[in-house]
Chains A and B, each alone.
Chain A
Amino acid sequence: MLKHGRTGAPAPASKQATVSRRTVLAGSAGASVLVALPDVLVAAPARASVSTAPNPDFAPAPAHFFLYGSIGPLATPGLQGWRPPAVRGAAPPAPRVVGAGIAARPARSGDGTTVAFPTVSAAPGAVSVTLTLVDAATSTLESTATLALPGVPVDASVLVRPVFAGSATVALVIAVTEPTNWHTFHKAAPDGPAVTTPTARWTTHHALAYLDRASGAFAGPFDLADAPSLAWTDAAADAHHLYLWTLREPALSVGTKQKPLPTPPTRLLTFPLGSGKPSRAARSAGAWPNGATGLVLATGEVARVADGRDLEVYSPRTGSSSRITFAELRLESARAGATTVHSRPDGTLVIANAAFGRALVVDPAASFRTVTVLDYPRPKIALGGPDAKTALSPDGAVLYTLGSAAVGGLSAYEIATGELIATTSDGSHYSGVYQLPSGTLLAVNGNDSGSQLGFFSPSLARLGASSTDMYVAEVF
Chain B
Amino acid sequence: MAGFDTASTVQSQVPAAIDVWGAPAFWVRYFYPCYFTSLSSDAVNECVAIWDGNSGSPHLGAVSTPTQSRLDGTSAEGQADAQTFVSALINAYTTVGPLQLPTNGTLFCWLDQEASTSLSLGYWNGWAGYINGYAYAGGHPFHAALYCNPFAAPPNCSIIDSTSADHCYAVWSSEPLRCSNSLSSPPAWAAESCSNVTTYLWQFWDEGICYNTNANVDLDVGHPNTNYSSYCFYLSSKP
**Closest approach, in angstroms, between the C-beta of A358 and any C-beta of chain B?**
14
**Which residues of chain B from 58 to 83 have any CB-CB distance to chain A below 8 Å in the complex?**
65-70, 72-77, 79-81, 83
Known A188-B106, A256-B94; judge A200-B122 contact (CB<8 A): no
Contact of A198 among B69, B129, B143 (CB under 8 A): B129
Cα-based distance from A385 to B119 in the complex (angstroms): 10
Kindly state whether residue B38 has any CB partner on chain A within 8 Å: yes
Tell me whether B77 and A104 are in contact (CB under 8 A).
Answer: yes
Kindly state whether residue B22 has any CB partner on chain A within 8 Å: no
Binds B, one of A23-31, A69-77, A235-243: A69-77
**Closest approach, in angstroms, between the C-beta of B154 and any C-beta of chain A?**
5
Tell me whether A204 and B83 are in contact (CB under 8 A).
Answer: yes
Cα-based distance from A214 to B207 in the complex (angstroms): 54
Known A254-B91, A473-B73; judge A200-B155 contact (CB<8 A): no
Known A249-B87, A308-B35; judge A336-B105 contact (CB<8 A): no
Tell me whether B88 and A250 are in contact (CB under 8 A).
Answer: yes
Tell me whether A334 and B8 are in contact (CB under 8 A).
Answer: yes
Cα-based distance from A201 to B140 in the complex (angstroms): 12
Give chain B residues whose Cβ lies under 8 Å from the Cβ of A177: 76, 79-80, 83
Give chain B residues whose Cβ lies under 8 Å from the Cβ of A288: 32-33, 38, 84, 88
Kindly state whether residue A332 has any CB partner on chain B within 8 Å: yes
Known A185-B140, A191-B198, A473-B118; judge A230-B7 contact (CB<8 A): no
Give chain B residues whose Cβ lies under 8 Å from the Cβ of A333: 7-8, 36, 207-208, 216
Give chain B residues whose Cβ lies under 8 Å from the Cβ of A338: 35, 67-68
Which A residue sits closest to B37, measured CB to CB? Answer: A307
Kindly state whether residue B120 has any CB partner on chain A within 8 Å: yes
Kindly state whether residue B226 has any CB partner on chain A within 8 Å: yes
- Classify chain A's interface size: 35 or more
Kindly state whether residue B126 has any CB partner on chain A within 8 Å: yes
Kindly state whether residue A1 has any CB partner on chain B within 8 Å: no
Cα-based distance from A473 to B167 in the complex (angstroms): 24
Kindly state whether residue B133 has any CB partner on chain A within 8 Å: yes
Which A residue sits closest to B226, measured CB to CB? Answer: A190
Tell me whether B135 and A199 are in contact (CB under 8 A).
Answer: yes
- Classify chain B's interface size: 35 or more
Tell me whether A384 and B115 are in contact (CB under 8 A).
Answer: yes
Give chain B residues whose Cβ lies under 8 Å from the Cβ of A189: 167, 169
Give chain B residues whose Cβ lies under 8 Å from the Cβ of A474: 69
Cα-based distance from A249 to B86 in the complex (angstroms): 10
**Closest approach, in angstroms, between the C-beta of A106 and any C-beta of chain B?**
12
Secondary structure type dominating chain A contacts: loop
Give chain B residues whose Cβ lies under 8 Å from the Cβ of A69: 72, 118
Tell me whether A73 and B159 are in contact (CB under 8 A).
Answer: yes
For A259-279 the 0/1 string (1 means CB < 8 A from B) is 011010000000000000000
For B201-234 the 0/1 string (1 means CB < 8 A from A) is 0000011100000001110000000100001000
Give chain A residues whose Cβ lies under 8 Å from the Cβ of B77: 104, 159, 291
Kindly state whether residue B104 has any CB partner on chain A within 8 Å: yes
Kindly state whether residue B130 has any CB partner on chain A within 8 Å: yes
Tell me whether A378 and B68 are in contact (CB under 8 A).
Answer: no
Give chain B residues whose Cβ lies under 8 Å from the Cβ of A254: 90-91, 94-95
Which positions in A face B, CB cutoff 8 Å?
A: 69-70, 73-77, 102-105, 120, 157-159, 175, 177, 185, 187-191, 195, 197-202, 204, 230-232, 249-251, 254-257, 260-261, 263, 287-288, 290-292, 307-309, 332-339, 355, 378, 381-387, 431, 445-448, 471, 473-474
In the complex, the 5 A-B pairs of residues with the closest C-beta atoms, listed nearest first: A384-B114, A199-B133, A384-B116, A336-B7, A471-B118
